[in-house]
Amino acid sequence: MSNRMWGGRFASGPAEIMEEINASIGFDKRLAPQDIRGSLAHVAMLGQAGILPAEDVAAIEAGLKSVRDEIEAGRFVFKRELEDIHMSVESRLTEIVGPAAGRLHTARSRNDQVATDMKLWVRDTLDSLDQQAADLQRALAETALKHAGTVMPGFTHLQSAQPVTFGHHCLAYVEMLARDRGRFRDARARLNECPLGAAALAGTSFPIDRHATAAALGFDRPTANSLDSVADRDFALESLAAASICAVHLSRFAEELVVWTSAQFNFVRLSDGFTTGSSIMPQKRNPDAAELVRAKSGRIIGALTGLLIVMKGLPLAYSKDMQEDKEGTFDALQALSLCLAALTGMVKDLEPNAAVLSQAAGSGYATATDLADWLVRELGLPFRQAHHVTGRLVGAASAKGIGLEDLSLPEMQEAEPRITEAVYAVLGVANSVASRTSYGGTAPDNVRQQAQGWIERLA
């Protein structure tokens, strides 16, 4: 049997495989709240414009609210033969209110309807992700304030480079998340134009008020070109791009947690709440939550890549290829939400091992740059010469298997005769971090000020 919602042109129903490939109700049913919101705004506008009589508008509005209640209560039956959420809602509406339901689709198409639904869903999700990212920022900033003076090694090339503080390290991710939130807000601002009323692709001859439906749905304005309205999926692509960059940031932090919780590093500890055991090795405490955050970045980036490839060859306006925007977008943004929640929990849960961090901060001649800076500042050496002198001293200490601070003064003076006892003051890791007072530097007072500032902004 042909589909009674659109099958007037067809004498028979679709082949079984056609129904299988064509149906989207299995995943687009999550658009039900947005679909009903859009329909309520549309029917209200049709009534205000005098296109539908008041009694039909009232019946349709009451019916849509009944459908919404059924869906929220879990009583709604989604039928595969109805293809998608739009047809499912309209079919049930017809059962509730009768022929008047058929007037709902006046002056619109599934093309502008689905574009509106998706924009509403993505907009709602971006708002939620922004809040979750703020929650993670807050957890990081509070940890940074608590550990503003906890010294740890800073790395380049995963080699010990210079001492920093644990709080300073946490604040680096606060800054990354601030940029992520900026991208979420930018994407939201650009998507906030309403496609509803563009109809199939050319607009409509009915005297509709697209500004009214845009305002009712919280959009800034209606979209300006009917072709672009139904052909555009930039809003999904841009949101996925912002999500992908955020996922990369989360993955980098997750990778550090994986490394830091290993027995070889032992920098931080996660509780039983965020680790798992082994089926064969009873001693294991595996950072599975962090590993899964790291892995899910691949799914999120893959969704962006997949949709870019779907869209790259499509002529204007709408093609059924665009149905493929949904599963990847739903999955990716849900995965990002889960990653944000998991990392927020881990940040609140983790406990830095201050003694191990401090010892590691002094390894690998991490205060060599402090020594070079001292030679420039106190003795007036050009930095390149100071770099050379420091390199000789590192070589001498390395040959003896000792730290720079363990070299005797005569041994230091072999490399530069003017070195005095005062040099030892800059070779301790605590002195090193305290000296980094430049704006954005790791000095504990800087970290406290930055962390407190973020906590106040995020309150």
Q: Determine whether 278 is an active site residue.
A: yes
Q: Which of 2, 262, 271, 278 is catalytic?
A: 278
User: DSSP 3-state helix, strand, coil percentages of the chain (rounded to 5)?
Assistant: 70, 5, 25
CA distances from 414 to 124, 372, 409, 427 (A): 67, 15, 9, 18
Q: How many whole angstroms separate alpha carbon 164 and alpha carbon 159?
A: 13
Q: Quote the crossing angle between the two packed helices 110-146 and 32-48, to the nearest 10°.
A: 130
Q: How many whole angstroms separate alpha carbon 177 and alpha carbon 172?
A: 9
Q: Determine whether 24 is an active site residue.
A: no
Instruction: Report DSSP state, residue 396.
Output: H
Instruction: Report DSSP state, residue 303.
Output: H
8 A C-beta contact, residue 18 and residue 321: no
Q: Kindly give, in sequence order, each residue whose CB lies less than 8 Å from that of residue 133, ignoring residues fewer than 6 positions away.
A: 177, 180, 181, 184, 246, 340
Q: Which of 12, 157, 205, 408 is catalytic?
A: 157
Q: HEC states along 307-335?
A: HHHHHCCCCCCCCHHHHHHHHHHHHHHHH
Q: How many whole angstroms separate alpha carbon 361 and alpha carbon 368?
A: 12
Q: How many whole angstroms separate alpha carbon 45 and alpha carbon 106?
A: 11
Q: Kindly give, in sequence order, each residue whose CB lies less than 8 Å from that of residue 141, ignoring residues fewer than 6 positions away.
A: 170, 171, 174, 451, 454, 455, 458
8 A C-beta contact, residue 416 and residue 389: yes
Just list the catalytic residues.
157, 278
